[in-house]
Every structure is written in structure tokens, then in C-alpha cells.
């Protein structure tokens, strides 16, 4: 009998192969199980639906590798790693990024990023009350997950033409500045 992790990998691999050829909305559980060489009930022992497969891909292949970097406050390197790992499977992520509506890729990405950021924030600052009631770990995780998701989605949907290091630098620059700072910086750039 195969280990759970091995079957997970088979199912995920099958999904990825099919996703490169078939629109995500058309992929069935039968397609995935046939590609993995397992029976349909096996799928449901591992995943609820194909959207959970996508969530697992994001968590295990994009976010889990950056976890040690975040825990060691190596934020720039963590951001770079996300973009580098997305680029490794460029065609898959381009296809996934086209998923819209309920269970959109953007929503799945935002939820996964939010979870890892919330975990980091609670680990680093706890759940104690902040100076402002709005600045809870939940609200901060929401804010930063929205900004990161925007950058990830925009980069993927513009065909990832900007190298990972450059897009990571742009993200880190923008996220570290206030709107006032950004306006001043851009005004300086425009001067002859």
C-alpha cells in the first residue's frame, strides 16, 4: 500500500499534467485519478475537490519553502523565493491564474498567503492588543496578503517578463513606503 504523501504527489502530478493541456474548469476528478492510476474514492481520501489540490500546491510548493526564511526574518529572500518558484512552473501558473469566480486562483492564493502571514504575526507579536484596535494580526495579515496577491497575480498575468529578483525588489520597495513617500520619490524621478 502506498503512503499518503506518495498518493498526494501522484494526484498533484496528475492534476498539473492535465492542467497544462485542459482548462482548469474542465478537469474532472476522474481525469485526475486516471492520470494518477488510482480509483476515484482514493482521491476523496486525500482531497475534497480539485481546488484543494490547487491549495495544496500553493502551500507546499510556494509557501512552505519560504517558511524558514520568514521565521528568520529574511523577508526579501522569502519574497524572491515565491517568484522564483512560480517561474519554474510558469505555464501551470499562467493557466491557474485564469481561474475566476467562486474558487478563483486569486482567492485561493490570498487565503494561503494570509494563513502563513497570520501564523508569522502571531508567532512574532502574539495576539496582544496593539496601539490601534485595527492593527490586529488578523487585519495585518489581510492587508499584506492583499498586496502580495495583487503583485503575484499581476506578474503572472503579464507573462512574468520581469525577472523574479526585480519584481521582488519592486514589491519590497512599494510595501516599505508610505503613499506620501512614493509620490515624492516618483516626483523626483521625473525631474530632469
Range name among 54-63, 88-97, 159-168, 178-187 with the lowest pLDDT average: 178-187
Q: Which residue has the higher pLDDT, 184 or 47?
A: 47
- Encode pLDDT of 31-74 as tens digits: 999 999 999 999 999 999 999 999 999 999 999 999 999 989 89
Q: Where are the domains of the chain?
A: 4-47, 54-177
- Please, is 69 exposed, middle or buried when counting C-beta atoms within 10 Å of its C-beta (0-12, 13-18, 19+)? middle
> What CATH number has the domain spanning 4-47?
1.10.10.60
Element (H, E) at 146: helix 137-157
Percentage of residues in the chain having pLDDT higher than 90:
73
Report residue 14: phi and psi, to 5°. -60, -45
Cβ within 8 Å of residue 89, ≥6 positions away: 16, 61
Residue 148 grid coordinates? 502580495
User: Is the pLDDT at 80 greater than 90, yes or no?
Assistant: yes
Cβ within 8 Å of residue 45, ≥6 positions away: 7
Residue 125 grid coordinates? 507579536
Nearest 5°: CA angle at 13, between 97 and 43?
Answer: 100
C-alpha to C-alpha distance for 136 and 148, rounded to whole angstroms = 18
- Encode pLDDT of 16-31 as tens digits: 999 999 999 999 999 9
User: Where residue 89 falls among pLDDT bands split at 50, 70, 90?
Assistant: very high
C-beta of residue 13 within 8 angstroms of C-beta of residue 36: yes
Please name which of 58, 61, 40, 96 lies closest in space to residue 11, comparing C-alpha atoms: 40
User: Is the pLDDT at 87 greater than 80, yes or no?
Assistant: yes
What is the model's pLDDT at position 3?
77
Average pLDDT, the chain: 92
What one-character DSSP code corresponds to residue 147? Answer: H
pTM assigned to the model: 0.89
C-alpha to C-alpha distance for 148 and 141, rounded to whole angstroms = 10
Amino acid at each position: 500500500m502506498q503512503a499518503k504523501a506518495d498518493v498526494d504527489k501522484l494526484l498533484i502530478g496528475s492534476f498539473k499534467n492535465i492542467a497544462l493541456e485542459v482548462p482548469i474548469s474542465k478537469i474532472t476528478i476522474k481525469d485526475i485519478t486516471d492520470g494518477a492510476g488510482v480509483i476515484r474514492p482514493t482521491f476523496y481520501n486525500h482531497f475534497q475537490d480539485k481546488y484543494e489540490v490547487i491549495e495544496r500546491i500553493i502551500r507546499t510548493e510556494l509557501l512552505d519553502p519560504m517558511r524558514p526564511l520568514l521565521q528568520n526574518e529574511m523577508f526579501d529572500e522569502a519574497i524572491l523565493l515565491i517568484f522564483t518558484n512560480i517561474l519554474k512552473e510558469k505555464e501551470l501558473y499562467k493557466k491557474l491564474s485564469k481561474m475566476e469566480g467562486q474558487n478563483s486562483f486569486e482567492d485561493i492564493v490570498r487565503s494561503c498567503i494570509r494563513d502563513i502571514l497570520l501564523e508569522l504575526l502571531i508567532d512574532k507579536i502574539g495576539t496582544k492588543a496593539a496601539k490601534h484596535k485595527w492593527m490586529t494580526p488578523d487585519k495585518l495579515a489581510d492587508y499584506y496578503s492583499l498586496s502580495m496577491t495583487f503583485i503575484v497575480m499581476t506578474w503572472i498575468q503579464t507573462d512574468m517578463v520581469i525577472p523574479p529578483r526585480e519584481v521582488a525588489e519592486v514589491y519590497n520597495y512599494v510595501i516599505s513606503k508610505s503613499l506620501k513617500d512614493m509620490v515624492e520619490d516618483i516626483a523626483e524621478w521625473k525631474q530632469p
